[in-house]
Amino acid sequence: MSTLTIDNQKLAYEVTGSGKPVLLVHGFPLNREMWRDQIDALANSHMVIAPDLRGFGESDPPVGDVSMKVYANDLAALLDHLSIDQPVAIVGFSMGGYVTFEFWRRHKERVASMMLIDTRADPDSSEKAVSRRDAADRVEKEGINFLIDGMMPNLVADQTFKGQPDVVKALRTMMAKSSTAGVIGALHAMANRPDSRDTLADIDVPTAVIVGTEDAISPPADMEQIAQSLKTATFTVIADAGHMTTMENSAALTEAMKKHLSA
């Protein structure tokens, strides 16, 4: 693990392998460990860069507000820190996808291609935004266990619950590592995030849109619409997986990523 310091806050990241750069942006309330199988597999042919966003994994809890803009600018600062000026393949999973859209709006010259995995382009409905802000207030008082319990059924497919207890356990452990301030900050950041649907028509790099067949948070039909709104997109559905494709069916997901990277 390496770190860089931005705004007096330590941001943790790892760089593995060499070759064309691939930047992996994790979801909520997760950290770079969600990409462990992909990091190991892609590092044979690429330089894989996997940060922990502010407040997650081994990064410091955020001081002050965070937003998609803050997260996206942190990624650009990390690339600067690594002296990577060639465009990267950016891979955004769920909340990481929301960050990827913002990265595109702010730093599109740094993007060679994109993978959008189990994510959404539309903003929160007003009800959803209210429920996120309520959850943030509750996390402040109670910590994050109630949030983890509430999210688990939506994160993985039924068969994962039954057949892959190790994945369920790893997911819980990963989520429990998130700092209270990181979770509160991200809940507000997601509730306040902009609508990215208009951005889709502007994206002119090859993009792979990938989703688990049983994803309850970003269902395949919604993700297919994202693919249809893009100029150059492929659309892949991963079998035997809910939202957490990177862990539930990591072999199929990694294959889809390799296919995109070698196209």
Whether residue 68 contacts residue 99, with contact meaning beta carbons closer than 8 Å, is answered with yes
Identified binder of ligand MLT from the candidate list 11, 23, 24, 27, rule CB under 6 A? 27
Question: What is the DSSP-derived secondary structure letter of residue 51?
Answer: E
DSSP H or E segment with residue 147: helix 145-155
Cβ distance to ligand MLT smaller for residue 43 or 223: 223
Other Cβ atoms less than 10 A from the Cβ of 58: the count is 17
Query: What's the min distance (Å) between Cβ of 20 and ligand MLT?
Result: 26
> Facing residues of 2 across strands?
13
Query: What's the min distance (Å) between Cβ of 18 and ligand MLT?
Result: 29
Token output for 15: 């760089």
Show the binding pattern over residues 195-224: x = contacts ligand MLT (CB under 6 A), - = does not: ----------------------x-------
Query: What's the min distance (Å) between Cβ of 167 and ligand MLT?
Result: 15
Q: How far, in Å, CA of 162 to CA of 36, rounded?
A: 22
Cβ distance to ligand MLT smaller for residue 43 or 211: 211
Size of residue set near ligand MLT by CB under 6 A: 6
Instruction: Count the alpha carbons within 13 Å of 68 in the hemisphere toward its beta carbon.
Output: 25
Show the binding pattern over residues 156-195: x = contacts ligand MLT (CB under 6 A), - = does not: ----------------------------------x-----
Cβ distance to ligand MLT smaller for residue 47 or 95: 95
Whether residue 233 contacts residue 256, with contact meaning beta carbons closer than 8 Å, is answered with no
Q: What crossing angle do the helices spanning 165-176 and 145-155 adopt, rounded to 10°?
A: 140
For residue 239, report the phi and psi dihedrals to the nearest 5 degrees: -70, 160
Q: Is the peptide bond between 29 and the residue preceding it cis, with omega within 30 degrees of 0? A: yes
Query: Per CB under 6 A, which of residues 58..117 are in contact with ligand MLT?
Result: 94-95
Q: How far, in Å, CA of 54 to CA of 207, rounded?
A: 26
Query: What's the min distance (Å) between Cβ of 123 and ligand MLT?
Result: 10
Cβ distance to ligand MLT smaller for residue 27 or 62: 27
Token output for 86: 């060639």
Cβ distance to ligand MLT smaller for residue 20 or 177: 177
Query: What's the min distance (Å) between Cβ of 58 and ligand MLT?
Result: 18
Token output for 199: 């951005």
Identified binder of ligand MLT from the candidate list 28, 71, 101, 104, rule CB under 6 A? 28
Q: Can you say how many angstroms the Cα of residue 187 is from the centroid of all Cα atoms in its chain?
A: 14
Query: What's the min distance (Å) between Cβ of 83 and ligand MLT?
Result: 29
Query: What's the min distance (Å) between Cβ of 45 and ligand MLT?
Result: 27
Cβ distance to ligand MLT smaller for residue 75 or 190: 190
Residues at the site binding ligand MLT, with contacts judged by CB under 6 A = 27-28, 94-95, 190, 217
